[in-house]
């Protein structure tokens, strides 16, 4: 997958930057409100986000799409 920097924002978005050269890659709108928790499971290529909207969402890294929402 390479090395990426993931930044959660107060608007509920997840911003993805390429670590080398600080190049913006993508933005995913995750939550209705601030994104306040973020975890990466590299082995399974998953990103887990939690927001003030009280949702936890599991994302597929490569597809940048939801795998599951609770």
Return the pLDDT at 64: 60
Return the pLDDT at 42: 82
Q: Are residues 27 and 16 in contact, defined by beta-carbon separation less than 8 angstroms?
A: yes
What is the DSSP code string of 5-48?
EEEE-TTSEEEEEETTTTEEEEEEE--SS-EEEEEEEGGGTEEE
Rounded distance, CA 19 to CA 52, Å? 27
| pLDDT tens, residue by residue, 5-57 | 999 999 999 999 998 878 999 899 999 999 999 999 988 889 999 999 999 99
Neighbouring-strand partners of residue 39: 48
Q: What residues does each domain of the chain span?
A: 4-60
Return the pLDDT at 63: 65
Residue 1 has pLDDT above 60, yes or no: no
């Amino acid at each position: 997958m390479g090395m990426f920097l993931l930044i959660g924002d107060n608007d509920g978005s997840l911003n993805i930057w390429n670590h080398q050269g600080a190049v913006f890659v993508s933005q995913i709108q995750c939550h209705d409100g601030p994104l306040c928790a973020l975890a990466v499971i590299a082995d399974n290529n998953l990103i887990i986000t939690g927001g003030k909207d009280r949702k936890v969402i599991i994302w597929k890294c490569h597809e940048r799409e939801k795998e599951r929402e609770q």
